[in-house]
Structure 1
Amino acid sequence: MKLVLKKSDTIVTKKLNIHTRNLPCLDSMWHYHPEIELIYITQSNGIRFVGDSVAPFFAGDLVLVGSYIPHLWRNDPSYYEEGSTQNVKTIVTKFTRDFLGNDFFEIPEFFEIKKLLDNCKFGLSFGKEISEPLHKDLIKLPNLSHTEQHIKILEILNKLSLVKEKDRVVLSSSDMRQTKSESSERIDTVLKYISDNYATSIALEDISNVACMTTNSFCRFFKKMTNKSFTQFLNEIRIRNASRILVQENIPISEVCYIVGFNSITNFNKQFKQIMGATPKKFREAI
């Protein structure tokens, strides 16, 4: 997939832009932009990529993405099938750091919000226990007047800034912010191929061919772009999808193993515990 510097639509000149999206896959490309972005999923599920983080998303997912960090939300393959009736609804809020004026957040009274905006450079995820109390405020944002939107976003940011560290998740393990468009179309092609085909067998030679590279060159390229090896990245996508299935479906664990692309229950259990911190059985029992 092509990693691109994404500019706001030419008709949008505001420093604060809020809208509702009702189509699968929020963006077709792994991308970044100078605006900070607050993304609230009210309907749909799939996999999100933020920096080097790979994780499933569900209804209620609330993520604050900092400036210039590459990201992509991609719905499950079933959402793209012809005739699909699965609903998608996402509230997307983009704003510049100075949407309330230059140095606004340098005022001591807004120190906590400033710290929140500083910390979101790696991406911050807030679960349902945080997003549910904010649900009514978030879904009415697109229909407010421009003045009311500014006031309401400040209120929401203030509430998020007061969330304890244990109740929010830092997504990317490293600083992957981009300052210029220097990536090729390869990463766009590769990530799309993986997200569409993770449930099948993908050999290193196969994915290298997709990228039109030798295996050695591809391994260096992929590590540079994602901060992870191809095998590690693929296993994370499979396990994150497995965790979503375990939460949403009453399917035997042995079947989930093969649904997400593993051909060995032993390896599946090993990878699941390594990535999720518990065996699939204990993970499901804890839900």
Structure 2
Amino acid sequence: MKLLLKNPDNALNARLNITKRVSPCLDSCWHYHPEYELIYISQSNGIRFVGDSVSQFFPGDLVLVGSNLPHLWRNDPSYYQDIDENDENKKVKTIIIKFTKDFIGEGTFNNPVFTGVDSLLDQSKFGISFGKTVAKSLHEELDRVVELPQTEQAIKLLDILYRLSLATDRVELSSSDMRQYTQENSQRIDLVLKYISDHHASDITLNDVASIACMTPNSFCRYFKRMTNKSFVQFLNEVRIRDAARLLAQEDLPISEVCDIVGYKSITNFNKQFKLIVGSTPKEYRLNNLNLFFSDKYAQVG
């Protein structure tokens, strides 16, 4: 599996392409493309990789990915086990809007009236995640936009981008500009990312991943840092901790068991890494998620 430059022949001249997908699981390929991409997850969960960012995603996830920025949404392991295409609860439902900067005309966003949108598109080189309030307000429109005639799709996308440019509840994902303009040595990093994603709960060593990349450990460390902006150990910790956060939010398991499931042998190290990456202890994180759950449920009833 390799990092792909996605640009199929039948879409070479397409400035705007909107699709609604229902599938057993998400793509398992770390890729990039020259188009911008607005991705809305209406049903699915797992871990997403955008540039050097490793984060959880849940239903309602809304992200704008910039041109040539590598990204991958990877489902939780349960999606890949005993796939039942008739199980509606296990299906992945996404809306993907892929567009070029000139989707309504060359130089449109150079007009001063579109300064906000132009700034948003520039910021998207880091990947932008929007908050639940923003995503919820756009849910129905995103769900219907695929059914509109092409002209109306372009008008609606412009409206959506304008509203997103006004949103204050948004977060840059990648800490640095990770845009790719060449596929040189890309197969190596893709194999490594897939291996880490699939085996992070095991006792992965530097020698293991260096072997996957067919490199010496020292050469691999330099290569991995250049490609992800993080050390191998730092990246592995982030994948493990994001998976742990998912388990703490979704499952009623003892914290010590979650620690063991995601690959930590020491509860002390687990707590330390969790606080460093998430910003709270595992116990605090679980309590905060419970409070959010009951607040949302109460708001719906009210």
TM bucket by the smaller chain?
over 0.9
Q: TM-score, normalised by structure 1?
A: 0.95
Unmatched segments (≥5 aa) in structure 1? none
* Paired amino acid for 1:264: S
Q: TM-score, normalised by structure 2?
A: 0.91
Q: How far, CA to CA, are the matches of 2:243 and 2:131 in structure 1?
A: 17
The residue aligned with 1:222 is 224
The residue aligned with 1:59 is 59
Q: For residues 97-116 of structure 1, what are the structure 2 equivalents within 5 Å?
A: 97-116=101-120
**Structure 1 residues 239 and 36: CA distance shift in structure 2, 3 A:** same
Unmatched segments (≥5 aa) in structure 2? 290-302
Quote how far apart the aligned CAs of 1:82 are: 2.7
The residue aligned with 1:169 is 171
Does residue 1:208 correspond to 2:210, yes or no? yes
Q: How far, CA to CA, are the matches of 1:91 and 1:12 in structure 2?
A: 20
Q: How far, CA to CA, are the matches of 1:211 and 1:183 in structure 2?
A: 10
Does residue 1:89 correspond to 2:90, yes or no? no
* Paired amino acid for 1:109: V
Quote how far apart the aligned CAs of 1:29 are: 2.0
Quote how far apart the aligned CAs of 1:12 are: 6.4
The residue aligned with 1:236 is 238
Q: Report the secondary structure of 1:176's partner residue.
A: coil
* Paired amino acid for 1:155: D
Q: How far, CA to CA, are the matches of 1:146 and 1:211 in structure 2?
A: 44
State the 4+ residue runs in structure 1 displaced beyond 6 angstroms: none
Summarize deviations over 1:146-182 as a string: whole Å, max 9, x none.
1111111111111100011xx1110000111112222
**Structure 1 residues 225 and 25: CA distance shift in structure 2, 3 A:** farther
Does residue 1:179 correspond to 2:181, yes or no? yes
Q: Percent identity?
A: 63
Summarize deviations over 1:217-275 as a string: whole Å, max 9, x none.
11111111111011100000011111122222222211111111111111100000000
- The answer as to whether partners of 1:25 and 1:73 remain within 8 angstroms in 2 is no
The residue aligned with 1:80 is 80
Quote how far apart the aligned CAs of 1:200 are: 1.2
Summarize deviations over 1:95-118 as a string: whole Å, max 9, x none.
000001011111111111111111
The residue aligned with 1:134 is 138
Q: How far, CA to CA, are the matches of 2:32 and 2:185 in structure 1?
A: 11
The residue aligned with 2:271 is 269
Quote how far apart the aligned CAs of 1:127 are: 2.4
Q: Report the secondary structure of 2:186's partner residue.
A: coil
**Structure 1 residues 120 and 216: CA distance shift in structure 2, 3 A:** same
Q: How far, CA to CA, are the matches of 1:279 and 1:206 in structure 2?
A: 30
- The answer as to whether partners of 1:24 and 1:75 remain within 8 angstroms in 2 is no
- The answer as to whether partners of 1:24 and 1:74 remain within 8 angstroms in 2 is no
* Paired amino acid for 1:39: I
Q: How far, CA to CA, are the matches of 1:221 and 1:25 in structure 2?
A: 30
The residue aligned with 1:13 is 13
What is the aligned residue count? 285
